[in-house]
Amino acid sequence: MAYAETAAQTETLTGWRWGGGVYLNYLFSAVWGVELYWWGWAPERYAARAHWLELTTRGFFLFMIVNGAVVFVNGPQRWLGVAIVAVLLGAWRPTRR
């Protein structure tokens, strides 16, 4: 049912009937769980992880958040999603290591 509903919403928005986004949500949850575990278990190693890995993870998170909080949302909640994305972009700005 989740696949069918996701496919219907995606088709309405993009014209492409594809429900695979539901699996991307599962992947998002799994990656977030791994990030939290790594951060809590070995914070020094987490902080020293490869820059490409950090950028890839943040890019994936940003893609998912933009779609979930801006693209597939209607009405005033979309503006809350835009604000969330703006805060994330500010928090994730490049810093020196």
pLDDT at 93: 86
Residue 91 CB neighbours (<10 A)? 8
Mean per-residue pLDDT pooled into runs of 10, the chain (97 residues) = 94 93 96 97 96 95 95 93 95 76
Q: CB of 76 within 8 A of CB of 30?
A: no
pTM, rounded to two decimals: 0.86
Q: CB of 49 within 8 A of CB of 34?
A: no
pLDDT at 97: 57
pLDDT at 96: 63
